[in-house]
Structure formats: C-alpha cells, structure tokens
Copies of this chain bind each other. A is one copy, B any other.
Amino acid sequence: MTPARAPRADAVRNRKKILAAAGEQITAHGPEVGMDEIAAAAGVAVGTLYRHFPTKTDLVVAAVAAYVARVADDAETALSRVQAGAHAVDELTAFLGRVVEASVTDRAVKAAAQTLGAEPGDRGDEDRAGTAVAALIRAGQADGDIHPDVTVSDIYLLFSTAPTDQPSAARARWLALVTPGLTTRARQAGN
C-alpha cells in the first residue's frame, strides 16, 4: 500500500483549473475541442493535462460529470415543485424541454446523456437524477397524467435523441411531437 503523501498544492490547483477549462471549452465547442485549446484555456501546458488524465476521454468524462450534476439539480428542483403542489406531467415535460434547450448551449450535456444511458456509472449524480426523474414519473402516474408504462430510461432515450443541432423551432416542435408518447391524453392541436 503506498501511503501516498499528500499531493502538491499547485497540482490540486491545476487540476481544478483544468476541469473548469475543459468544462467551458466543451460547453462552447463540444467534446471535439483540441487538447491544446483546453490547455490554453486552463493556462497550462498540454503535458499537464496528461499528468492528470491519462487520455482525452478520461478528461472529457470527468468534465462532463459536472453537467450530470447540473441535470440532477434541475430534476430535483422540479421534483420539489411537484411536492409543493405543481403538476408532475408539466414539470416533467418542462424538465425535458429545459435539458434539451440547455444542451444546445452545452453540447456536452448531450454527451453526458449518452453516458447516462450507457453505463451504470459510478453512483452519485446519475443516481440523483434518476431518482428525481423516477419520482416525477411516479407522481404523474398517480395523477393519471403519465402513461403507466413510462420509465426513467424512456426519458433518457428521448433525451438522447433530441435534435440538438436543429433550430429552436424544430426543437420545440420535436418536444411537442414527443410529449404525447409519455402522457395518457391525446394530442392537442397547435404545437
């Protein structure tokens, strides 16, 4: 067992800067930003990135984890509104809409979603999000508004297929087209 003496102060500092920069850059330009750009944004050299994260994938995963946390917060907030009396269906679709809308700016969230759907993940934020969404669904089902067979993975499935690169109008239309699949009521007119 390596007792592993405490990491150096500047190393900790840099790690944070890197994570923050990676987040910003990925948010702005998607996961395909170059390591050089992330390094520059963090005010470090490329080599430093590799000291902290063995591969680019590792870095992206780590950075994206922050956005999963954001989604989890959003879901929990929505849930608390429901517990305060708001309609669950409305909150759920609004949540879906917000997350989709957010993923336009934060292209990374989309990647995060795929992570969500992909692996069980290492506990934490993913669970929080899942739990909150599940509660949201259950509440809506209790109201009789959400179809009984809807599950959390349905939400992830839909979210992972959201038309991120399409114009705002298309995204709104998409949400309108997709919502009836979750609810028990037939579609209303208009969008």
Interface residues of A (CB under 8 A from B): 117, 147-149, 154, 157-158, 160-163, 166, 170, 173-174, 176-187, 189-191
Contacts and interface: CB of A to CB of B under 8 A. Distances in A.
A191 B150 CA distance: 10
Contact of A191 (B149, B177, B185, B191): B149
A190 B149 contact: yes
A106 to B, nearest CB: 18
A127 B147 CA distance: 37
Contacts of A191: 149
A190 to B, nearest CB: 7
A92 to B, nearest CB: 13
Contact of A157 (B149, B160, B173): B173
Nearest to A184: B186
Contact of A186 (B149, B158, B176, B185): B185
A149 B189 contact: yes
A161 B178 CA distance: 11
Contacts of A117: 166
A158 B181 CA distance: 13
B170 A157 contact: yes
Nearest to A182: B177
Given A161-B161, A162-B161, A163-B160, A187 B183 contact: yes
B187 A174 contact: no
Contacts of A160: 163, 166
Contacts of A180: 180-181, 186-187
Contacts of A176: 181
B177 A177 contact: no
24 contacts: A149-B190, A149-B191, A154-B173, A154-B177, A157-B170, A157-B173, A157-B174, A157-B177, A158-B174, A158-B177, A160-B163, A161-B162, A176-B181, A177-B181, A178-B178, A178-B181, A179-B181, A180-B180, A180-B181, A181-B181, A183-B186, A183-B187, A184-B186, A184-B187
